[in-house]
């Protein structure tokens, strides 16, 4: 197991201008890593870099659109020139578009796939040759609980996250003969960042996240932990395990239940403008780390929902076992 001292390690973080990316940059800065921060918004990125320098780290801002393969190649070369090598690459860009599939423009669906899947593939394609020349390196993919269960009303997001999980598994298998190179996945639950408010919204209703909602800094510490002690997968929030279990037992039932829940929410939610959000351009205000989605009542509700999800999972398991048992009796 790699146990890396991050002091002086060169760490690239994409999607670093706010949310999980900014929290991760600050977490590595406290370990005195050498940071190469990337996002589309150069001004916001420079603010984050300045904050990291104030924490004692060397940091540069490299404005980059990860959907542009050439730009990502240039980012990788800039990082190698800055640090002499690249030790850790955190592939963190993520965008979303919420709306009924047929009411969401195809251009929006395509952009979600470009950012959330092709963007991460561009990251890996740029840095893996560097890792191979060095003989070491850790590639960390920020995925989502959406990599395990479909999200109705966010079809392209689901496609991108399912695809990203498959890509990461395939890449990890290809590199299995290289003991110094690791591919790690992070699966956060719902996280309190500006991302939901910045995302594209074609529902005409205000968006929020169901509890429990977790602090982005918790994800950042998990990513730092993977950089020091790489492993294939890390989860942030026990609800991810419950969602994964429910999907494994009854995927169609879980997806339909989520669709009904979302449809009911949209009927009650207050009106909001239809917007492309940050799909095609950075938000006007980066927003910092926190999105204002957490509240004491959400934490209490989160404990209730987690318990309810566990009960539901057990109930589904019993129902499936009963059904299989009944089929067995009929066969006899």
**Catalytic positions, written as ranges:** 157
Q: What share of the chain is helix, strand, coil (3-state, %, to 5)?
A: 55, 15, 30
- Helix (H) / strand (E) element for 58: namely strand 58-63
Rounded-to-integer distance, Cα 266 and Cα 25, Å: 35
- Helix (H) / strand (E) element for 89: namely strand 88-91
Contact 38, 22 (CB under 8 A): no
- Helix (H) / strand (E) element for 10: namely strand 10-14
A 10 A CB-CB count for 136 gives 16
118: DSSP letter: I
Rounded-to-integer distance, Cα 68 and Cα 118, Å: 9
Rounded-to-integer distance, Cα 191 and Cα 294, Å: 9
β-bridge partners, 90? 13, 140
- Please spell the DSSP secondary structure of 265-324, one letter per residue: HHHHSPB---B-TTSSS--SS---S--S---HHHHHHHHHHHHHHHHHHHHHHHHHHHHH
Rounded-to-integer distance, Cα 81 and Cα 131, Å: 14
Rounded-to-integer distance, Cα 198 and Cα 207, Å: 10
Rounded-to-integer distance, Cα 108 and Cα 115, Å: 11
Rounded-to-integer distance, Cα 34 and Cα 103, Å: 44
């Amino acid at each position: 197991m790699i146990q890396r001292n991050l002091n002086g390690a060169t760490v690239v973080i994409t999607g670093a201008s706010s949310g999980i990316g900014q929290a991760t940059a600050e977490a590595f800065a406290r370990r005195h890593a050498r940071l190469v921060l990337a996002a589309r918004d150069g001004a916001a990125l420079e603010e984050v870099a300045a904050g990291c320098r104030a924490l004692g780290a060397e940091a540069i801002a490299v404005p980059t659109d990860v959907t542009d393969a050439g730009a990502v190649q240039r980012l990788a070369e800039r990082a190698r020139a800055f640090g002499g090598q690249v030790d850790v690459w955190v592939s963190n860009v993520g965008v979303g578009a919420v709306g009924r599939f047929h009411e969401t423009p195809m251009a929006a669906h395509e952009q979600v796939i470009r950012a959330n899947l092709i963007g991460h593939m561009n990251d890996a394609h740029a840095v893996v040759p560097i890792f191979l020349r060095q003989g070491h390196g850790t590639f960390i993919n920020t995925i989502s609980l959406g990599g395990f269960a479909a999200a109705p009303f966010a079809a392209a997001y689901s496609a991108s996250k399912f695809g990203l999980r498959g890509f990461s598994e395939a890449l990890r298998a290809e590199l299995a003969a290289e003991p110094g190179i690791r591919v790690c996945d992070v699966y956060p639950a719902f996280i309190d960042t500006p991302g939901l408010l910045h995302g594209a919204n074609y529902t005409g209703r205000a968006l929020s996240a169901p509890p429990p909602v977790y602090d982005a800094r918790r994800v950042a510490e998990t990513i730092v932990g993977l950089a020091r002690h790489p492993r294939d997968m890390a989860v942030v929030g026990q609800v991810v395990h419950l969602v994964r279990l429910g999907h494994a037992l009854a995927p169609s039932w879980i997806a339909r239940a989520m669709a009904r829940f979302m449809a009911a929410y949209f009927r009650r939610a207050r009106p909001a403008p239809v917007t492309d959000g940050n799909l095609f351009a950075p938000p006007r205000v980066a927003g910092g780390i926190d999105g204002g989605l957490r509240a004491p009542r959400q934490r209490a509700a989160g404990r209730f929902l987690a318990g309810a999800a566990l009960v539901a999972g057990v109930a589904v398991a019993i129902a499936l076992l009963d059904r299989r048992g009944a089929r067995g009796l009929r066969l006899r």
